[in-house]
Chain A
Amino acid sequence: MSRAKRTMLLLISVSLLLTGCKDRLNLENVTLILMEGVDLDKDNHLLVYMSSPVFSKEAKKKNEETKVKAISPRDARGYFEAKVSALVSTGKLQNLLIGKKLLQHPYWYKLLDVLFRDAKVRSNARIIMVDGDVDDVMFFEPEDKRRLPLHIAKLVDTAHERNLVETTTLFTMQRQIYEKGVTPYITELRREPGEIRLMGTALLNKEGKYVTSLNIVENELLQILQDEKYQDLTLTVVLPEKDKPGTVFHMGTVSFYVKKVNRKIKTSYRGGQFQFTYEIGLPIQITERLFDYNVKDDAHKLEQMINEQLNKQLRNLLQKLQKNKVDPIGLGLFARAFEYRNWKKVQNDWPEAFAKAEIHVNVHTSIKDYGEIK
């Protein structure tokens, strides 16, 4: 036999074997779940929701949404398949909505086991808390937006780029659950009458129970503390020294764009408690200033005033975290890395040790640019 013939024979015989693979699935037989939801109803029964796009010209709506009662998300799959057009697939999952009511119960994240275990699930799906009922979000069909699951995905991603909310995916959720030195946090959104609105970040404790929320401004500060600034980070502070009485406006307002976050953390252990000292260098560019000031001659004094305000805000945030015993910053990682012996004593109860820790923050802004006008 010639070489070409032998190659052909090989190709044919190998391709004949391919029919033995039973995993073939025709695209028209797939219903792609873009958004899944888990919640509890008023009698504490587990509700599982799904939303998937419809590609039929005859269908009037772009999406089909379904709700079933089930004992677990995997158990819900069968009920879904009995209701929706074709066989469900989680390979393109974008968002996973969790109701606030479910988050009141410790270890709710065990319900996500199927999503962690199944190799076919997309592990970059975002986990989002719904402040309210998942029902309201799932069956919402805004007229001026594209398909809701994709709209929410875009909304969350772009807001995260602007440092307004944290995002947690199925993959990073596992890290936050198992890592002893950090507590989990997820994006928080709410259904408003005509729209979906991002509220900030929900903070959970080590058992996964909802503890408190950070609003959008606090989230920006959190990302400075985490050293996870993405794109644009613009902060606005009101300087009491420059505020004028007698007007309805805050005349002491100054806004600036943070070019970079230079975070340094000193970790030590003294007198039975951990001590963290933050030195945060922020090169800034002033983008808005409602009072008159000669930056050229006396930039240092303005920097001092801004530092003071930022220090205050950051300290307030840290106090809030310590009071609630949640450490989304991951200071536990620093404790492990630099004070390993002391860390080992508290590693199984890090949030408690974090609450007792002494944390100092010193912000050092430096004005690099103040725009086109004096």
Chain B
Amino acid sequence: MDAALKPSKSNRITTLQFILIIHSMQLGVGIISMPKDVADVSGTDGWIAIILGWILSTAASLIIVQVMKKYPDGSIIDLIEHYFGKWIGKLAMALFAVYFLLYAYLIFDRMVLLTQSWIMQQTQSWVLMLLFVIPAYMLIKGGVRDIGRFAEITFFASIWMVFVISTLFKDGNWLHLLPVLKEGWLPVIRTVNTTILSFLGFECIFFIYPHLEKKQSASKGVIIANTLTMLIYLFITIICFLVFSPDEITFFNDAVISAVKIIEFRFIERFDLLILSIYLMVIAKTWISALFMSVYCTSRLIVGKYYVHAGIFLVAMVITNYALNTGWNESIEASGYFSKIGFAVAFIGPVCLWLVLLVMSQFKRWQT
């Protein structure tokens, strides 16, 4: 294992960075199609499902923190090796490596598709991917601390978008939200399936927890991170519900960008291009962090420096994209399958692990 990946003084992260890394893993491409995805199932009551999804994801995050407390100086891999032995540890490494690699690729691919269909229709998607390879490589090489700083900068550099998007309130109609719970709770609860997955990303706590400077603020941190994500989701979804008619919103694939497109000031038009271009940074931090977690695992599993692995993966992603040449349909289908794995890794996995650890800690042998 690379010494650079071990938690040490040089790669500690502050509580704010901890919060923003989790938040930035959650907030990414999902939000752009979220109003439509939610409205597909439960119409304009979908926003309630976001709050329900938030409760569940916060609970799952807190469980992960509880699990990590059992072995505070190492990542999930060290924890599993400690409790279950070397080979199960290796298995966990392989699983997490593949999981985060898929996570990174699917988001990277979706990000490029968005750029292609909204900004540069004529350019090949793999060419657009190439543009992000070098910055991603450099960020990953910097380790957890650089990723944390990038999350901080991007977060503060994109706050202005909230104010610009708020101008859409004047085009909205609050009647669209009424009546609340028009078809009862059932469709809302069915929508939780969708919204819960939009909070995926908090499973990165498994890997960044050991780097956190003040371990006692971990629980507070995950609650803040999840709440921040939820507030942004809620804000965007409600804005879209106000601007689009309930009968209309399901026709728009990227409802958020379509809505932003109508914002015009005297000195600037076509805010969709501007906001999407800058939002690419927000999306980038999702998959760059995921790729970091992936190479963290692979570099322990196989020999080699972790950033060499990252470079190889990045080039492989471009080649894969060139070879497969996939479009929107494939991307949406693959995300559908992936979200099932995500549910297992982020929700079911931690709960099972936590219960097992609770039982194990009853025995003397494991009480260290």
Contacts and interface: CB of A to CB of B under 8 A. Distances in A.
A124 B264 contact: yes
B14 interface: no
Contact of B122 (A22, A122, A178): A22
Interface string A320-340: 000000000000011011101
B270 A91 contact: yes
Contact of A179 (B130, B135, B248, B272): B248
A17 B127 contact: yes
Contact of A124 (B118, B258, B262): B262
Contacts of A336: 175, 178-179, 246
A48 to B, nearest CB: 22
A336 B258 CA distance: 25
A333 B134 contact: no
Nearest to B264: A124
Interface stretch (A49-57, A139-147, A168-176, A278-286): A168-176
A340 B248 CA distance: 18
B123 interface: yes
A337 B175 contact: yes
Contacts of B247: 178-180
Greatest chain A CB density within 10 A among B120, B138, B247 is at B247
Given A14-B134, A179-B245, A338-B179, A23 B261 contact: no
A120 B258 CA distance: 11
Interface of A: 10, 13-14, 17-18, 20-23, 91, 119-120, 122-124, 169, 171, 174-175, 177-180, 333-334, 336-338, 340
Interface string B127-159: 110110011001000000000000000000000
B120 A174 contact: no
Contacts of A124: 262, 264, 269
B138 A10 contact: yes
List of 4 A-B pairs having minimum Cβ-Cβ separation, nearest first: A337-B178, A179-B245, A178-B248, A20-B127
Interface in B93-137: 117-124, 127-128, 130-131, 134-135
A14 B119 CA distance: 18
Contacts of B123: 20-23
Contact of B251 (A18, A119, A178): A178
B182 interface: yes
Interface string B161-175: 000000000000101
Interface in B227-272: 244-248, 251, 258, 261-262, 264, 269-270, 272
Contacts of A169: 262
B176 interface: yes
A100 B118 CA distance: 33
A179 B246 CA distance: 7
Nearest to B252: A174
A119 B117 contact: yes
A54 to B, nearest CB: 22
A330 to B, nearest CB: 8
A333 B130 contact: no
B315 to A, nearest CB: 14
A23 B121 contact: yes
A298 to B, nearest CB: 39
A340 B176 CA distance: 12
23 contacts: A14-B131, A17-B127, A17-B130, A20-B123, A20-B124, A20-B127, A22-B122, A23-B120, A23-B121, A119-B117, A119-B118, A120-B121, A124-B264, A175-B245, A178-B248, A178-B251, A333-B173, A333-B176, A334-B175, A336-B175, A336-B178, A336-B246, A337-B175
